[in-house]
Structure 1
Amino acid sequence: MATTSPADSWLRGLRPQFAPITQEDYEALPEAISMAIEIVDGYAAYRAAPTPDHQTASRRLANVLERHARAAMSKGHECVTVNTDVDLRLRDLPLLNRRPDIALYRCLDRERGERLRAEHALLVIEIVSPGSETQDTTDKLGEYAKAGIPHYWIVRLDLTGVSIIERYRLDRATTLYKHVGTFMKDERSETPKVSNPIPIVIDWTELMF
């Protein structure tokens, strides 16, 4: 007979939620639960488990970013780090907590137990999956911009791996993202390169399944 885990029981009780989740509530949750949800305007939103292709693309793209981050730091850039599926606090009240697929951010003070917040993030990346189109291209586009994160990439996959990278840069005057270009996997195109937030060269072969 199948057993029900505490996480399953908790997740089944997400609807209806009679009161918003506070910072204290969220931080008291077991990791198995916090990793399975995001908090939007104080209410929990279930995150479907990523597909194997999604996980592979996220890991490989994060590896590319990390390599370039280390190269940038060796040339004097401030300390930065890269993580996947990382807990990112965008707002305290009402609580807004997202878990972007990939984030490049300023190194945190571990001794002080510093939490990753929007002001630390330099670039966040979301990989579009079936069912996440609206969240990634509309909801999070607005949330990350309003939180002041300088760069946002939306990544799309095909059967062979990462195929499209849409790049957005924050216009601080309007607190909106401006589309600054789209990289498309095409053997006839030049190798994609960016200079901000750090110098990055995209080798499509590294992002193939």
Structure 2
Amino acid sequence: MTALPDDSWLLRIQPQPERITAEEYDALPEDICRAIEIVDGYVVYCAAPSPEHQTAARRLANLIELGAKSAMASGHGCLTVNTDVDLRLRDVPLLNRRPDIVLYRCLDRERGERLRAEHALLIIEIVSSGSETQDTTDKFGEYAKAGIEHYWIVRLDRTGVAVIERYRLDRASMLYKHIETFMKDQPGDLPSVHNPIPITVDWSDLEI
């Protein structure tokens, strides 16, 4: 069994001779889990997002949550929106990501249910200078293979959210296919979507 790290471990990550199991990950302190992801059993250190990134994620999550509340009032079922939360994509070898934003079906916390791919309805990743490959290639493929229906890639400018790229899973190929791209500077009415829930994108609410 791999020895669990102490708090100083994040400052001295070395090549890892052994993979971390799901059980070992679950035993880690929350402050360590918030700073890492696990890919094929190996630790990937996640740099803290910029204040602009955090603000954009919070405001976009608020927008998604408004849509979720309306959907629940219309009989959609219990929905939850969270930012920077553990998402278990696979147990062996362990694949655990922390998406910027997740819309998912409510979990049964009393039974200890954890957030897994089958609960997730929409994943949103906000691209930063160091996450282009992860968000547009690595996670793009992982989320699709896990069967998550909807994926948005979001890009920022100096004033906030500027671009939203929408993708939907093609079940035949288990790959994402581009649906449309919303751009803040594009003329016309505010963009809206109907899947996985109705959401209207008000760019003014997404300024930072």
Q: Which TM-score applies when normalising by structure 1?
A: 0.95
- The corresponding residue for 1:100 is 99
Counterpart residue number, 1:83: 82
Flag as ranges the 4+ runs of structure 1 deviating above 3 A.
none
Name the CA distance, whole Å, in 2 between partners of 1:128 and 1:45. Answer: 17
Measured in 1, the distance between the counterparts of 2:135 and 2:10 equals 22
Q: Secondary structure at the match of 1:57?
A: helix
> Is residue 61 of structure 1 aligned with residue 94 of structure 2?
no
Instruction: Give the whole-Å Cα distance in 2 for the aligned partners of 1:187 and 1:131.
Output: 27
Range moving further from structure 2, 53-62 or 13-22? 13-22
Counterpart of 2:44 in structure 1 is 45
What is the rounded CA distance, in whole Å, between the counterparts of 2:24 and 2:9 in structure 1? 13
The residue identity in structure 2 corresponding to 1:154 is I
Match of 1:180 in 2: 179
The Cα shift of 1:13 comes to: 4.0
Which amino acid is 2:157 matched to?
A: D
* 1:3 aligned partner: none
For structure 1, the residue ranges without an aligned partner over 5 or more in a row are 1-5
Match of 1:159 in 2: 158
SS at match of 2:140: helix
Cα offset, 1:12, TM superposition: 3.3
Match of 2:111 in 1: 112
1:136 is paired with a residue whose SS is: helix
Distance (whole Å) between structure 2 residues aligned to residue 104 and residue 117 of structure 1: 12
Deviation at 1:190, TM superposition (A): 2.1
Distance apart, 1:186 and its partner CA:
1.8
- Give the drift of 1:15: 1.6
SS at match of 2:59: helix
Alignment partner of 1:111: what SS? helix
Letter in 2 for 1:146: K
SS of the aligned residue for 1:178 comes to strand
Could you give the per-residue CA deviations for residues 135-184 of structure 1, whole angstroms, max 9, x where no partner exists? Answer: 00000000000000000000000000000000000001110000000000
Q: How does 1:187-206 map to 2 (within 5 A)?
A: 188-206=187-205
Query: How far apart are the structure 2 equivalents of 1:12 and 1:52?
Result: 22
Q: For residues 76 and 56 of structure 1, what CA distance do their matches in structure 2 show?
A: 30
Letter in structure 1 aligned against 2:193: V
CA RMSD, Structure 1 to Structure 2 (Å) = 1.2
Unaligned runs of 5+ in 2: 1-5
1:11 and 1:97 map into 2 onto residues whose CA distance is: 17
C-alpha separation in 2, matches of 1:102 and 1:189: 27
Q: TM-score, normalised by structure 2?
A: 0.96
Q: Which residue of 2 aligns with 1:121?
A: 120
Shift of 1:110: 1.2
* Number of positions where the alignment pairs a residue of Structure 1 with one of Structure 2: 204
